[in-house]
């Protein structure tokens, strides 16, 4: 397939994009014989929904197949480049197209999780009155990213990372059926590296294949094995992995700068991500995690600020969102650090995994019925507020764990105060 305007060959991933369910690979739970989306397509009764899954698993392709199969007008918006103005314009187009149409058009919104609250609000009325059928695509959990009124009007379907058998089918299909590749002498002797580097992403798999072929000598056979894949990709990392290693390396540098209490490093790597088009909500979400994991009880306000930053960026979008992102990154970097809460829950989970479900001591059990009281439930429990200092010395762990300590306060001003109080209340734990 070539671009008729420029004569430039379309990327392999576009040339191999299927136009019907028969050519669609993966997501059998949705488009297989008994799949809910297949049944919806076959019945023609289309309702708004959101496709949630990792990159390159067929979200956009599936939306286009649905529109093509049902012969519906198909409008698209990208949450990266569209604002409220563009949303309203496409709504008017859908209304205009609806005057003589018997079926509602489809509006497909890629990366809907990047839409701000005001952008999502602009969609609500049109979804409610049936101006169009909304199909959203997101790589993030829509429960956190999509406003409740819109989410309640859309079914969410989860797409899975492609399996090896799916990638194998895609590879074979490209080599056998692409009008350009089938003319070449290509032999694949090893597939492990191809599939590993693709990471369950169909688009990345085909991009890698294209890069390998572009680095081969014209007119000569191409033998693809693990060594060749690794060699070519190391030389062309920027070409095949715009959102892969560099994406993870930079977010790692950002997190480590904040953990290491360097606000300058934090702001620099933040700027790198913003300039590179990183999802601001991804950045904000990682700061929420860091606030709990690395700052924790040394400064509990850090978690509140990080959560507030996430909500702020979600509501106002970019470019203004860069300001609360910067404020929060600097605050987190300059805060005292403690991972005591993180270590405590992991130690407790390890104990649960190792020692199983130990019985709840009788004095801690609830006793809502007469029988339970007669059996000794709640007997011996002391209500803390009835005692001096609102504290009663009781055993709150299972008997088998008496004296076990999971939480060890960090060495910072706030947790040093916690340590002193715990030493007074619980000498047996040796704080």
Contact partners, residue 161, CB within 8 Å, separation at least 6: 53, 54, 57, 199, 200, 201
List pLDDT tens digits, range 253-275. Answer: 999 999 999 999 999 999 988 88
Buried b (16+ CB within 10 A) or exposed e, 222-254: bebbeebbeebbeeeeeebbeebeeeeebbeeb
Q: What is the mean pLDDT of residues 2-31?
A: 75
pLDDT at residue 367 tops 90:
no
pLDDT value, residue 322: 93
383 has a pLDDT exceeding 80: yes
Tens-digit pLDDT profile for residues 77-128: 877 666 677 778 888 887 776 555 567 888 898 888 878 777 888 888 888 8
Peptide bond between residue 302 and the one before it cis (omega within 30 degrees of 0): no
pLDDT exceeds 50 at position 364: yes
Output the pLDDT for position 262: 92
Please state, rounded to an integer, the average pLDDT across all residues of the chain: 84
In the chain, the percentage of residues whose pLDDT exceeds 70 is 92
In this prediction, residue 182 has a pLDDT band, given cuts at 50, 70 and 90, of: confident
pLDDT above 50 (res 210): yes
The HSE-up count of residue 202 (CA atoms within 13 Å, CB side) is 31
Whether residue 21 has pLDDT greater than 80: yes
pTM assigned to the model: 0.55
User: Per-residue pLDDT for 161 more than 60?
Assistant: yes
Rounded percentage of the chain residues whose pLDDT exceeds 90:
24
As a whole number of angstroms, the distance between CA 52 and CA 190 comes to 32
Residue 102: CB partners within 8 Å, gap ≥ 6?
A: none
- Strand pairing category for 106-110 and 133-138: parallel
- Summarize pLDDT for 391-430 with one digit per residue, the tens: 888 888 888 888 888 999 999 998 999 999 989 888 888 7
pLDDT digits (tens, 9 = 90+) for 220-247: 888 988 888 888 877 655 444 444 446 6
126 is written with which tokens?
Answer: 């049109």
- If you average pLDDT over residues 292-307, what whole number do you get? 95
């Amino acid at each position: 397939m070539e671009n008729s305007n420029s004569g430039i060959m379309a990327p392999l991933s576009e040339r191999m994009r299927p136009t019907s369910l028969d050519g669609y690979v993966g997501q059998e739970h949705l488009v297989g014989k008994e799949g809910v989306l297949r049944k919806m397509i076959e019945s023609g009764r289309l309702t708004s929904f959101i496709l949630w899954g990792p990159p390159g698993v067929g979200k956009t392709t599936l939306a286009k197949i649905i529109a093509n199969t049902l012969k519906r007008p198909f409008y698209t918006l990208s949450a990266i480049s569209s604002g409220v103005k563009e949303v309203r314009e496409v709504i008017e187009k859908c209304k205009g197209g609806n005057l003589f149409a018997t079926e509602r058009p489809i509006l497909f919104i890629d990366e809907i999780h990047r839409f701000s609250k005001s952008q999502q609000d602009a969609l609500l009325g049109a979804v409610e009155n049936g101006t169009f059928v909304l199909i959203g695509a997101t790589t993030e959990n829509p429960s956190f990213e999509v406003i409740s009124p819109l989410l309640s009007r859309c079914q969410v379907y989860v797409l899975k990372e492609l399996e090896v058998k799916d990638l194998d089918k895609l590879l074979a299909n490209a080599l056998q059926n692409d009008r350009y590749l089938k003319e070449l002498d290509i032999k694949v002797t090893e597939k492990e590296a191809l599939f590993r580097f693709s990471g369950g992403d169909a688009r990345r798999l085909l991009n890698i294949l294209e890069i390998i072929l572009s680095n081969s000598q014209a007119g000569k056979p191409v033998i693809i094995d693990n060594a060749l894949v690794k060699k070519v990709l190391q030389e062309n990392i920027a070409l095949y992995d715009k959102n892969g290693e560099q994406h993870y390396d930079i977010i790692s540098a950002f997190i480590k700068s904040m953990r290491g209490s360097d606000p300058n490093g934090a702001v620099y790597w933040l700027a790198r991500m913003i300039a590179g088009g990183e999802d601001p909500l991804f950045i904000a979400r990682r700061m929420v995690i860091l606030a709990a994991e690395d700052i924790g009880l040394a400064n509990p306000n850090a978690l509140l600020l990080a959560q507030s930053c996430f909500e702020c960026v979600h509501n106002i979008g970019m470019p203004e969102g860069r300001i609360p992102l910067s404020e929060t990154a600097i605050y987190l970097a300059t805060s005292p650090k403690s991972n005591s809460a993180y270590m405590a829950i992991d130690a407790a989970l390890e104990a649960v995994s190792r020692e199983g479900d130990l019985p709840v001591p009788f004095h801690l059990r609830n006793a809502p019925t007469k029988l339970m009281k007669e059996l000794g439930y709640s007997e011996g429990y002391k209500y803390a507020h009835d005692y001096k200092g609102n504290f009663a010395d009781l055993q709150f762990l299972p008997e088998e764990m008496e004296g076990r300590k999971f939480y060890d306060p960090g060495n910072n001003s706030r947790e040093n105060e916690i340590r002193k109080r715990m030493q007074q209340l619980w000498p047996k734990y040796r704080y």
